[in-house]
Copies of this chain bind each other. A is one copy, B any other.
């Protein structure tokens, strides 16, 4: 079986819509612990306008902190960039993996970027090329790949057209994002198989939301379809502010727990992630959607003592 990679996006997709600003020192604490858990990649933030997304205003400072030797493990540090300006900022402060994407939904694409799907995809492909040329890793994703809160169903051909543009730009890691939470297990299998047929060597990445209760389910079907990169958020925090029914990301510790129950990636320190999720619930002063942070792990449960 191929190696599975966990990509923590809680510090970006998880908290970006939270009204309470998370202070830099708390972000550093959470990131330090998450990196120490042995997950594979952590998204520290996004290079976006601070006036539009104040929660992401200290992304440079976070990268400077961890770039100066503050990184306690092997996790790669990634950031989201939306445009050339963001890419430029990220290039200057030690981003190892650039995450970027464009939407397969015309409405969602225009709402996010002012551009239609085709134009936005070409722009992302050009940005990806530039980052790759500079020796950076890139994940390029197709947003609203499984359906759109405005448009409803999104044709698979639209998704595959965008993926082709990414592959032609030299991208190796291709993501499909279920921005609105519309994906169903059959569709997940079919769409990832279609992407794999475009380039059997591509690394497949998935990003699901729980709007209709299928986040974990879709991850498990993605796993069965050959996906090896999983973007999730500790505590199940998050949701896209631009979609109609915002709802949480797949919860990191719930997915790690599920996979470890099947014998996958038992090296990851689940208890560390659970502790961060509980800390986040205390910080935000509310119950978070994650399950395992409440039940505790049964990964190695062998019966009562």
- Footprint of B on A, CB under 8 Å? 147-148, 150-153, 182, 184-187, 210-214, 216-217, 220-221, 245, 247, 251, 254, 257-258, 261-262, 291-292, 295, 298, 301-304
Query: How far, in whole Å, are A221 and B217 apart by their CA atoms in the complex?
Result: 9
Q: Is the CB of B212 within 8 A of A303?
A: no
Query: How far, in whole Å, are A216 and B261 apart by their CA atoms in the complex?
Result: 16
Query: How far, in whole Å, are A292 and B184 apart by their CA atoms in the complex?
Result: 14
A153 → chain B, closest Cβ, in Å? Answer: 7
Copies in the complex: 2
Measured between beta carbons, the chain B residues less than 8 angstroms from A302 are: 152-153
| Chain B residue at smallest Cβ distance from A185 | B220
Main secondary structure of the interface of A (DSSP, over half): loop
Measured between beta carbons, the chain B residues less than 8 angstroms from A213 are: 216, 251, 254, 258, 291-292
Q: Is the CB of B295 within 8 A of A211?
A: yes
Q: A153-B302, A220-B221 are in contact. List 14 more A-B contacts (CB 8 A).
A: A147-B301, A148-B303, A150-B304, A184-B262, A185-B262, A210-B291, A212-B258, A213-B216, A213-B254, A213-B258, A213-B291, A214-B258, A216-B216, A217-B217
| Chain B residue at smallest Cβ distance from A261 | B184
A30 → chain B, closest Cβ, in Å? Answer: 22
Q: Contacts A186-B262, A213-B254, A213-B258: A152 and B303 contacting too (C-beta < 8 A)?
A: yes
Contact of A212 among B153, B186, B257 (CB under 8 A): B257
